[in-house]
Amino acid sequence: MPYVDLAFRLTGSKIPVDHGYALYSAISRIVPEIHEAKNVGVHPVRGTYSGNGELMLGDSSRLVVRMETEQIRKLLKFGGKKFGGSCSFSTLPEPNKRKIGFLAKERAARYGRG
């Protein structure tokens, strides 16, 4: 099964360094089916450490979701959404799509992520 990363550009100012659970919770409110999806991965958001346990979002900050190509339509719902709570940011409507290369697929299979 082919995989793809959907990368949504983020707008906002800061998020917590330890944002994994808060991000997953925010995503789950928009797409509740993500709890049942087996082959979906959410990458950590990149940013610049600003102190006090926060990352500043910048031009390269993205919400990146890895999934099987058949799931793209369901997860396009992230586009143009505002995320609240401790992960306060918005996504731009159109994501970039990136095919997963051979080495990334091998790594994902090795660690049970694909």
Number of structural domains the chain divides into? 1
Sequence-ordered strand ranges (E) for 3-93: 3-12, 14-16, 41-42, 48-51, 54-56, 62-68, 82-83, 89-91
Tell me how far apart the alpha carbons of residues 87 and 11 are, in angstroms, rounded to a whole number. Answer: 11
Confidence bin at 113 (pLDDT 50/70/90):
low
Residue-wise pLDDT tens digits, 7-64:
888 888 888 999 988 888 888 888 888 877 778 888 999 999 999 999 999 999 998 9
Q: Tokens 């790594």 correspond to what residue?
A: 107
Determine the structural domain holding residue 11 and report its residue range: 3-106
Give the pLDDT of residue 54. 92
Q: Measured between alpha carbons, how far is 61 from 8 in angstroms, rounded to an integer?
A: 9
pLDDT of 85 reads 72
Predicted confidence band at 108 (pLDDT cuts at 50, 70, 90)?
Answer: low
Could you identify the residue written with the tokens 């500043």? 56
Residue 39, domain CATH: 3.30.70.1890
